[in-house]
Homo-oligomer: A and B are copies of this chain.
């Protein structure tokens, strides 16, 4: 499989974790979000994905978009190890934890939105940082309460094994730290991420381990 993405992109990072957990090898096609005209917006890339967003996973000739749709596809086509429990109620709980990141936190804090705040709304870095921290704090405070109920061991978001919820929290925690958000109020989330980040699949998928990451 071929993964179009960017080492720092949180949504790409999720897909990398899922691929690594399932033992599926992939080739990276780097899409540099920092380029003067972002490669995401090139005509070629938009033919692959009209939304001009990463990640895109090429499975043979099929271009798949949207990180969570890609991961559900991997779950259905490569069921082992599972990233979702079997009982529908538990699957719903795991998906809700994942969507709390993917719908309620990440979309507000991604590159294009921060760009709008800077250019169209004239926000300086203090304003952008406050915006970023606001949505992290709202989302993480609620997730901290969630996982106090849903985690089975304080090392996973749900139960006692790795799920889709873990795949989503680790990249979001990495982003929160990169933007200097205060994560001390979320000890359970921090403990979960500390455990997960040391697992081989998560380490293999980490931004710094990618071929398009700056060296050193």
Residues of A within 8 A of B (CB): 50-53, 59, 62, 64-66, 68-70, 72-73, 76-77, 88-89, 91-93, 95-96, 98-100, 102-104, 106-108, 113, 116-117, 120-121, 123, 127, 130-131, 134, 139, 141-143, 145-146
Selected contact of A104 from candidates B53, B96, B131, CB within 8 Å: B53
Would A95 and B107 be within 8 Å (CB), given that A50-B142, A134-B116 are in contact? no
Shortest 8 CB-CB contacts between residues of A and residues of B: A69-B95, A50-B145, A73-B92, A107-B107, A66-B96, A51-B142, A66-B99, A69-B96
Instruction: Give the residues in chain B near A65, CB-CB below 8 Å.
Output: 96, 100
Please report the C-alpha to C-alpha distance between residue A98 and residue B99 in the assembled complex, in whole angstroms: 13
Known interface pairs A50-B142, A50-B146, A123-B121. Does A92 touch B107 (Cβ–Cβ under 8 Å)? no
Shortest CB-to-CB span from A78 to chain B, Å, is 10
Task: A134 to B117: give the CA distance in the assembly, Å.
Answer: 12
Say yes or no: B103 contacts A76, CB within 8 Å: no
